[in-house]
Structure 1
């Protein structure tokens, strides 16, 4: 959701007696807690996710449906979008405190953004927005995300796990599905050219797509995207 949409939801929750805190357009833990109470009181699945059923109950049947490429309800993906442009700081011992903060918030021992952080980025986006979702053991290891959630088809917001080096090796990369063209998935991820951005990764490198178990009620679609003049990524760092 956009900040404006989140604020509308927060105001609607407050009007019905469920306190999300300040209606500031930021979807945080207090907003999630308020939504969960509303869901419990109205007979909805209590998952803290603002999906289509919650939208209809809270805002009414006339609430507009999101577009196919709108990440409404995919709060982990919205968190990822908000961090686009976050960069490493060059040089040993000179890490970006925002990236180190991803680890601190999850009690992960991580002290230098020279260490690959694509898995850390995905862990932060999910851990900050889906507090009851189990993270994989060793979330810094990209291929460890093959054990996350449940298997799904590639679609908006899904976690995509790719091989690097060799399909049978142990190196990998992990990020979020943003779209696709005929040859590649468009991946929103961290540690892509040392920053959070969107890049194209060949479809034949995909190992699996995974979906959060606590977001099982949410659905999304594939998104066809033009290639533009962006080349394929071959070794995400």
Structure 2
């Protein structure tokens, strides 16, 4: 069962009609989602955000309090000016591989190539590659940029800092699986990573620091300020990105 099929079934369980349970984000599902959000005193945006999903998980008739919102300040514009790939990534934040499939697929192929359907394939590397290639066309990306660990061969190695490409192991440190995204901020135990294929969307999520394999920045262009950004914002902690 896909995520959208689960959403449609939960809407029905709560008394809202999304139409046929087909896993497709259509106008009936959107209308049912917005009506459900209104009934739970949530902003009727039609977005399947964390608060909406938590409310859908609740037993029908049971109210749930929305989870706390991360209290992080957005990056300063003068910092973003040095990292055009971060500015682009932030503009695409929130796109979901199911709900926004057509828009997300169009973005991922905007650099002239793509791995394929993000609803079917692990697309964290595709997202990083697109953001870098579109904003820094002179930069050479790794061979097979869709494999997360290949980004360990990109540009120059740096200490983790704002805008850097962070590569993590997934499954086991000695394996081949991994995850890649952009450094957004950090706290004592985790890096807050702006990336794709994080809970099926482009988002900021938290990954344990002991999973980091390396941090990279382009070896051309710049200058790139080496700024460490601390934040105690409570983003979702993940251990197996999807």
Matched, 1:142 2:151: no
Q: What is the 5 A alignment of 1:1-237?
A: 70-89=79-98, 96-113=101-118, 114-228=120-234, 230-237=235-242
Aligned residues: 167
C-alpha distance in 2, partners of 1:118/1:163? Answer: 13
Cα–Cα, structure 1 residues 207 and 69, in superposed 2: closer, same or farther, change >3 Å? farther
SS of residue in 1 equivalent to 2:109: helix
Aligned-pair CA distance for 1:99: 2.7
1:73-119 alpha-carbon deviations (Å, 9 max, x no partner): 211111111110011117xxxx8123322443333353311101100
Kept after mapping to 2: 8 A contact 1:185/1:200: yes
Aligned-pair CA distance for 1:158: 0.2
Kept after mapping to 1: 8 A contact 2:170/2:240: yes
C-alpha distance in 2, partners of 1:120/1:177? Answer: 16
Query: Runs of 5+ in structure 2 lacking a partner?
Result: 1-74
Kept after mapping to 1: 8 A contact 2:151/2:180: yes
C-alpha distance in 2, partners of 1:108/1:82? Answer: 20
Kept after mapping to 2: 8 A contact 1:71/1:156: no
C-alpha distance in 2, partners of 1:73/1:103? Answer: 22
C-alpha distance in 2, partners of 1:102/1:117? Answer: 12
SS of residue in 2 equivalent to 1:190: strand
SS of residue in 2 equivalent to 1:122: helix
Aligned-pair CA distance for 1:232: 1.9
Aligned-pair CA distance for 1:231: 4.2
Query: Runs of 5+ in structure 1 lacking a partner?
Result: 1-65
If the length of structure 2 is used for normalisation, what is the TM-score? 0.64
C-alpha distance in 2, partners of 1:116/1:231? Answer: 19
If the length of structure 1 is used for normalisation, what is the TM-score? 0.66
Q: Structure 1 stretches (4+) deviating beyond 6 angstroms?
A: none
Aligned-pair CA distance for 1:170: 0.3
Q: Quote the RMSD (CA, aligned, Å).
A: 2.0
Kept after mapping to 2: 8 A contact 1:159/1:176: yes
Kept after mapping to 2: 8 A contact 1:190/1:197: yes
